[in-house]
Each structure stands twice: as C-alpha cells, then as structure tokens.
Amino acid sequence: MLEKKVAIITGGTRGIGFETAKLFAQNKAQVIIFGSKEETVLEALDKLKTLDLQVDGYYPNLNDFDAIEKTMKEIIQKYDKIDILINNAGISANKKIEDTSIKEIDQILDLNVKALLYVTKAVVPYMKKQKNGVILNTSSMVSIYGQPSGVGYPASKFAVNGITKSLARELGPDNIRVNAVAPGIIKTDMVARLPKEVIDPLINSIPLKRIGTPNDIANAFLYLASDMASYVTGTILSVDGAAHN
C-alpha cells in the first residue's frame, strides 16, 4: 500500500510507533524512525532487521529546530523526498495539577506540542516542493473527553487536534493531507504491567470488551497514509472501541 513512499515516524522505537514502522515497512515504504537516544534507535533497528525489514533511524533532539532541520536535509540527500510524517513522540501525565511541577508542565508541552510543530515545520517545505505529502499526528481519546487528572496531557492533545485541523486547511492547496489518530486504551508496556483488578474494570467499560493493540492504531495510520484516504484530511480518527461512551 505504500510502495516507494518515504515515511518518517517520531517515537518509532517502541509501542505504537514501532508497530507502525513495522507495518509500513511490510507495505514496502522506506521507513525512517526517530528516537530519543542512539541505543534505543539501534535496538529497534536490530529488531526490525530480524524480521527482514530494512529501516533507517536517527535521534535528533526534537526540541532543537536546527538539529531537526539538519536531519531532514540528510534524509532528503539520501532518499530525495519525504512522503509521510507521523508525529508520534509524546509523554503522558497523571498527577493532579497541584502536584505537577512547572518543569513537568514544560516537558509535556515541549514534546507533545512544540516538538510536533518543529518537525512539521521542517518537513513542510519539502512536501510543498513535491506538491504532495501526508502528515499524521498521534492524538488521544482524552483530546475529546479530558481525563480526571494529569491535565497537561489532554491540554497537549487538544492542541494536537487544533494543529491537525488548522494545517489541513492551510496545506490542502499544496496537496498535503493532515489527519490524526486518537487511540483509546492500548496494550502498551505500561498498561500490560497493570494488575488484573485494574485491567478487568477497564475492559468491562469498553463496548468491544477488549483493550486495543498497537497494531489497531498502526492499521489506522496505514489507511490514512495510503491513497485509499486520498480525500480524507482534517480528521481526528477515534480508535478506541467506543471506550469514551
């Protein structure tokens, strides 16, 4: 579905990002993952290599625009184009506001909002020159319904939705589509470690009676990145088993 496409995935070393990198590579895209550290990127690339998937990787500081721009230039020199960008890197929060430090507020907004804007800003000129591109953002079900604590996380994801809808309108005339996927409760490492007495009520609250998998989200990204979604832009696609109801 993505033959000859060049796709960058931030936060691509584990969880949803890693699963998406794997699925995109299986669909013949040239995938480039971004991670926070050299060792995590190399570890992810080794795992993908054991599956016979040749993926590339970089680890620029996503809060350093000059470093991102330099990396994008290297990617263009190597691959000639950037067709797809997935802004997936992010951190969550669950503390009550009075227990949240200023540093923690800055960290979540720096990675979940500012870094997303920096990476997008660095990629857009190349996509405009090509007269095509797809930008996909990882949002969350809490971007629609909020959450009872950890307000910085829904704040950042409400921002992601606003960025997605606004850039879809701004970049549409350049044939650049912009969408987001809003995952529900997904079986990541963190969720997998929760005890049965915590997991069972969560499952019971979901109409589909199961927790989502990273692959569920990767499939949504694959659809939105492909030509099957050529008339879909400005959409926040909920993939949550109707958990919000």
pLDDT per residue over 182-221, tens digit each? 999 998 876 777 778 878 888 888 999 999 999 999 999 9
Q: Which domain, by its residues, includes 91?
A: 6-239
**Distance (Å) of CA 100 to CA 129, 140, 146, 149, 195:** 43, 20, 17, 10, 25
Residue 197 forms part of a structural domain: yes
Which residue from 97, 237, 102 is spatially nearest to 168, judged by alpha carbons?
237
Does 160 have pLDDT greater than 80? yes
Residue 244 forms part of a structural domain: no
Alpha helices in 80-192 (DSSP H): 102-109, 115-130, 142-145, 152-171, 189-192
Cα four-point dihedral sign 206, 12, 191, 147 = negative
Percentage above 70 pLDDT, the chain? 98
Residues labelled catalytic? 153
The pLDDT value given to residue 208 = 93
The pLDDT value given to residue 145 = 87
Does 245 have pLDDT greater than 80? no
Give the pTM: 0.95
What mean pLDDT value characterizes the chain? 95
CATH number (domain holding residue 172) = 3.40.50.720
No. of helices (H) and no. of strands (E), the chain: 10, 7
Residue 245 forms part of a structural domain: no
Q: What's the domain count of the chain?
A: 1
